[in-house]
Amino acid sequence: MTSCTFLDRLPRELRDLIYEEVLADEEEVIVDTDLHQGVYIPGLLHTCKQTRNEASKSFYSKSHFRIITPQTSMLLPVKWLHSMLTRHRKQLRQVTIHFRTNRSPSSSSAFSSPPSPSCHQRPSHRPIQNIFDHQVLNALRMESRYLGDKRRVETSTLLEHLAAMTYLRRRTISFEVDGPSSSSSSSSSSSSEAESGFAHYSTHTWVHELLTRLLERPRVFAWGTLLESYPCCVFLRDRQDRVALLEHL
């Protein structure tokens, strides 16, 4: 059906008001591969060709699209955006890429816990052993950051694809990161403990990579809305703020 007889009799301004009222419930659209595939389309846009052409602008420009991105499919947002028509992608005004940080053995870092000191060390050697453990811990942190987590590479690839995508307002894209899971949040989530929380660090080093890349491109994405509930994000943001403060002194 190319047109709707009832809507044809109404002026365009009144039709636009009807579209906005009907699509008011679609303010937040969840894009999740577990629920549906491809681009979510409300029922109103399936009414007829005329309604779809007129109401699609209101739907894509006023809806908040939240793309649920599992850690096993980091490039899902790029595939979803590419699947859209060009004119619809140009109309997007608010897109949030929501990363899930649920732990997965297949995608987690090679190291999942800090090395524990040997229980049979002599008391007189304990201070030396503590210093050695600290050095080894720092080495493992660097190793796990650059080699242990494949999502670090996928995160950089995702940002590169988004930055190069045509007909997309990149400043409308923001990012969210889940907080630590219940199993990993039993310890305190303060920034001081986040710095020494090697279990969090080695499991989700790609979160550091994401925030670092966004800080390097402050004028590309709307990275300011990145959730800071993740302890290591808080630590990294605090460190970045301290560096910026010292540069202005």
Q: Which amino acid is at 103?
A: R
> Would residue 185 count as lying in a domain?
yes
Q: Helix 205-216 crosses helix 151-164 at what angle (to 10 degrees)?
A: 30
Q: pTM of the predicted model, to two decimals?
A: 0.62
Q: Please give the pLDDT value at position 124.
A: 47
Instruction: Compute the distance between CA of residue 245 and CA of residue 248 in angstroms, rounded to an integer.
Output: 5
| Tokens describing residue 114 | 């800090």
Tokens 């988004």 correspond to what residue? 162
Measured distance CA(41)–CA(20) in Å, rounded: 15
Structure tokens at 80: 């979803």
Beta-sheet pairing, 28-31 with 64-69: parallel
Q: Is residue 94 part of a domain?
A: yes
Q: What own/partner pairs with CB < 8 Å and gap ≥ 24 does 42-46 have?
A: 44/19
Assigned domain for 133 exists: yes
What is residue 117's predicted lDDT score, i.e. its pLDDT? 42
Is 70 part of any domain?
A: yes
State the total domains in the chain. 1
Dihedrals phi, psi of 159, to nearest 5 degrees: -65, -35
Identify which of 23, 17, 18, 54 has the alpha carbon closest to the alpha carbon of residue 40. Answer: 23
Single-letter code of the amino acid located at 48: C
pLDDT of residue 104: 45
Domain assignment present for residue 29? The answer is: no
- Residue 65: helix, strand or coil by DSSP? strand
Range of the domain at 87: 63-113+123-248
Strand 173-177's sheet: what is its strand order?
A: 28-31, 64-69, 95-99, 173-177
Q: What's the CA gap between 235 and 229, in Å, rounded? A: 11
Instruction: Let me know if residue 182 belongs to a domain.
Output: yes
Task: List the chain pLDDT tens, one digit each, 249 residues.
Answer: 555 666 777 888 888 888 888 887 667 888 886 655 555 677 788 888 888 888 888 888 888 888 988 878 888 899 889 988 899 899 998 898 888 876 544 433 333 333 344 444 444 444 544 544 555 555 545 544 444 567 778 888 888 898 888 888 888 888 888 765 434 333 344 444 333 333 344 446 677 777 777 777 777 776 555 554 444 555 555 666 666 777 676
How far, in Å, CA of 49 to CA of 32, rounded? 26
Residue 25 placed within a domain: no
| pLDDT number for residue 146 | 45
**Residue 157 in domain:** yes
Structure tokens at 148: 């242990």
